[in-house]
Structure 1
Amino acid sequence: MRGVKKENLPSKVCVVCDRPFTWRKKWENCWDEVTTCSKSCNGKRKSERQRENKETRGEDEDEDARAAHKKSVKAQKAERRARLEFNGNPTSGQKACDECSKMVNELIRCQTDATKRWRMVCGSCWVKVSGGVVDGDANHPHYRYGGLWKNRRAQNADGGEPLVC
């Protein structure tokens, strides 16, 4: 719109404030989509639209869902805090033995049969599968040691310090 006098520029009426506004250079490519006269009016329009959406969705349901989420997040934080301070659930972080399914704080990783599948066994089951010998014996030809797993979140009987250093 080069060379056009200001009074001859196209104009529209703002859908928010009902005031007329004229064409601007920055609206050259999108003049057909422009409906508001300013950023302020555009912001008011968006906030009004959001408020209408809340009313149609049901504001109470939205607030209830938010409150429930907030409550669950607080519970998770409290649990995490207690765990870090060693005041939490003493069975936290324990794993089950593959032989006896007992929940323990230490497991031995080993192979016990011809399948060569790695298994996690507790101390009492380890004696059975290895014969009580670290490298196995003639009666346990498939036994192979693979390491020790310790629960880092474990607590001692006093409830204060962790078992693992």
Structure 2
Amino acid sequence: MTKATPDRRKGRQLPTAEELRAWREYIETAEALRSRLASRLQVESSLSPGDYSVLLALTEAPERQLRSSALAAHIGWERSRLSHHLGRMERRGLIRRQECATERGGAEVLLTPAGAEAFRRSTVPHLRAVRELFVDALTPEQLRAAGEIAAALRVHLDPRHAGQTPPDVP
């Protein structure tokens, strides 16, 4: 690998051609994978990836409900984006919002029976697509390396973990 080229304007190093090729492969492949999974999820269950993320979080939550602020943080969305999305999900009967008793102006998001059923019906087809499009494309060693790379990037991007090494991925 060649040394990175210094950017004299900022005093930083720019990625090498080899590093940029790896970056482009990663970005383009991740986008293609995300697009194919989203398409399959929509066709097979009429849920968007956003719907699935919200339903998954609520399914795993105690009493199948979360404060909207906690839900936004959990799935990594801005609160305004979540609010608009929840409105669409509520109109479809997948979730219900109610005023939070402990947080003034806050809302609790509750999984409805229809939302739980939609999530249940979508899970097996979605996990089958994950297997077909991601897991089956990799050897066990590549899968382990992909997990290690994802963990390293997550730690690098999370300010709470600045300076820490990524956890070992089994």
- Fold conserved between structures, TM > 0.5: no
Considering only CA atoms, is the larger Rg found in Structure 1 or Structure 2? 1
Q: Which is strand-richer, 1 or 2? A: 1
User: Whose RCO is larger (CA < 8 A, sep 6+)?
Assistant: 2
TM normalised by structure 1 equals 0.31
| Bigger helix fraction | 2
Give TM-score scaled by structure 2 length.
Answer: 0.30
